[in-house]
Amino acid sequence: MKISDVLRQTGLSRNSVTLMYKETTLKIELGALDSGQNKTKAAKLQGLKNYQALNNWMEKYSIL
């Protein structure tokens, strides 16, 4: 999803969306570090059901 789509659908400012994006990527990266790079553990730390869900988030936010 493009930022312009998020802005249009939510009515949020570009700055707010950018801050949320940065927060989300940081949370995912820290979860991966805390888990010793184990995606199953990282997913559980993030409250996700499984590592596939984490993979989807990582792809969405270009964290590989």
pLDDT for 64 beyond 70 = no
Question: In whole angstroms, how far apart are CA 18 and each of 1, 8, 23, 41?
Answer: 13, 14, 9, 27
User: For tokens 């996700």, what's the residue?
Assistant: 48
Nearest to 48 by CA among 37, 59, 40: 40
State pTM to two decimals.
0.54
Percent share of the chain, pLDDT over 70? 97
- Reported as a single tens digit per residue, the pLDDT across 31-54 is 777 777 788 888 888 888 898 988
